[in-house]
Structure 1
């Protein structure tokens, strides 16, 4: 199954995507290149393909675009192919077949020199295991990429200090990694990734090793940083709550293939199949769906002089206003009446009906 780009009304859009993935495959095993070329092999499921060829298709025929400034989340259970996919995006893992483009440039045609340039200047990556240099202080860890790039010491120290303050680590510049908590170490990782001013930040399950409280704190930090610096972000996670909190859109994968691509509200409100439906079963729809999803057309019996709310207000946030009104609440955008919402619609979502 190929997930193709479809922007909802409230998603980021651009004439040219930051990243474009077209029919991407990554197959491990003997004579891997034959699998995408042969429809009979490409159609086999994971077990059948392994039995017949000895190969494993970690990424299967994926197609999607990531818009500039978008937070694009890749989600799936262990073994779904999400980490392999994010490594393919910078050719840390070499794709087997398909197209891969960054701002229109064909990455699969790039030589090693060009790839090094892109990885140093255009992409940055934050891993689950922080990868900090234990013998270097915080400020030197943060400035390491700039050092590799060849920038002089005063410039890289100045830039490192800027991002250290941005991620809330001011005062910790001279500490060593072993003197920091897990959350602080991951902040160092974020600062290091930001220091080079990349166009795209790639996150491979960066918070999964943190305890729940620190994890939520770091999720909020990513949201804050995105609001402040506006970077394009590709974020890999197995956690649905994390995906819903961070993602403008979410790509749900299983066995290397795309199952559904859409906003969090689209996955929760309109799951593509039983697998997605089961995946989102325990999500509180009131915390995800907006009035756009539950509004209805006004009828002749509706009195339309009540309060107004926007279509992108989350149901939970609208509950008190709707239930407290003695007539339907109008859902309005740019002066246009889109629909109405009453207590019946609100209660159906809140009660999980």
Structure 2
């Protein structure tokens, strides 16, 4: 089953075609990863799928099955709100918090190991802590599809690995489309990986890493990583 189906998409930004007659499908309940150089159009494509792209000229068809949530590099937390209220942001803004939503937020914050900071304002948190809260807020939405726009790229290596593992665990039943510029992250998390190349962008053949994610480097993954680097270098 396809969770996202893109047909004959032409997407122009500032007079330049980022995508032209572009076709792409994302299977349900799997992690699909898009790799590509900066400026190739990864984020614009993700915003278009989410219905958030307002500046590009768009033609074609995009279908998706289910509700969409977004997890970006910028966590977009409200700094003066508490951790709990940021997770319950919709309920907070619409004044519809209930005992049930408070308890659900507490449960999700426990899952991301942030329950001890429940009432702390978000401006007091570290970058890694903020991204844990953003992940909990994403889970609060109970979406079927999660679009991830380089959510771990600004973190230090240890925190990045921890949050990759945590996100993979908590989003195991979801359809995830992750964009990244990091081949190692793609190979750790992806069930199928594509490289966007050229302009307008075209997809490489899929790479399917062996074994279950999250993966740890071995000789086979190093070989695949070099293949991805070669394709990215060719695309530059």
TM-score by length of 2: 0.83
The match for 1:262 is: 206
Q: Find the aligned partners of 2:202 and 2:94 in 1 and give their Cα distance.
A: 36
Q: How does 1:43-54 map to 2 (within 5 A)?
A: none
Post-superposition offset of 1:151: 4.0
Q: Find the aligned partners of 1:158 and 1:60 in 2 and give their Cα distance.
A: 47
| Structure having the larger proportion of residues in strand | 2
Contact 2:192 2:209 in 1 (8 A): no
Structure-2 change in CA distance of 1:149 and 1:256 (3 Å): farther
The match for 2:130 is: 185
Corresponding residue SS for 1:207? coil
Specify which structure has the bigger relative contact order, considering alpha-carbon pairs within 8 angstroms and separated by 6 or more residues.
2
Give RMSD over aligned pairs: 2.3
Contact 1:24 1:60 in 2 (8 A): yes
- Length, aligned pairs only: 215
Does residue 79 of structure 1 match 2:45? no
Q: Find the aligned partners of 1:287 and 1:236 in 2 and give their Cα distance.
A: 19
Post-superposition offset of 1:152: 3.6
Q: Find the aligned partners of 2:6 and 2:138 in 1 and give their Cα distance.
A: 23
Q: Find the aligned partners of 1:174 and 1:262 in 2 and give their Cα distance.
A: 44
Structure-2 change in CA distance of 1:265 and 1:196 (3 Å): closer
Contact 1:264 1:288 in 2 (8 A): no
Q: Find the aligned partners of 2:140 and 2:9 in 1 and give their Cα distance.
A: 30
Post-superposition offset of 1:286: 2.1
Q: Find the aligned partners of 1:74 and 1:145 in 2 and give their Cα distance.
A: 29
The match for 1:131 is: 76
The match for 2:10 is: 25
Does residue 226 of structure 1 match 2:171? yes
Does residue 248 of structure 1 match 2:191? yes
Contact 1:265 1:289 in 2 (8 A): no
Contact 2:86 2:137 in 1 (8 A): yes
1:33-67 deviation line (CA, Å, top 9, x unaligned): xxxxxxxxxxxxxxxxxxxxxx2112333212112
Q: Find the aligned partners of 1:152 and 1:139 in 2 and give their Cα distance.
A: 11
1:96-150 deviation line (CA, Å, top 9, x unaligned): 11110012xxxxxxxxxxxxxx8xxx11111111111011010000000344567
Q: Find the aligned partners of 2:41 and 2:68 in 1 and give their Cα distance.
A: 20
Unaligned 5+ residue runs, structure 1?
1-13, 30-54, 104-117, 267-282, 291-353
The match for 1:97 is: 59
1:244-300 deviation line (CA, Å, top 9, x unaligned): 11111112112341231413449xxxxxxxxxxxxxxxx96423689xxxxxxxxxx
Contact 1:61 1:257 in 2 (8 A): no
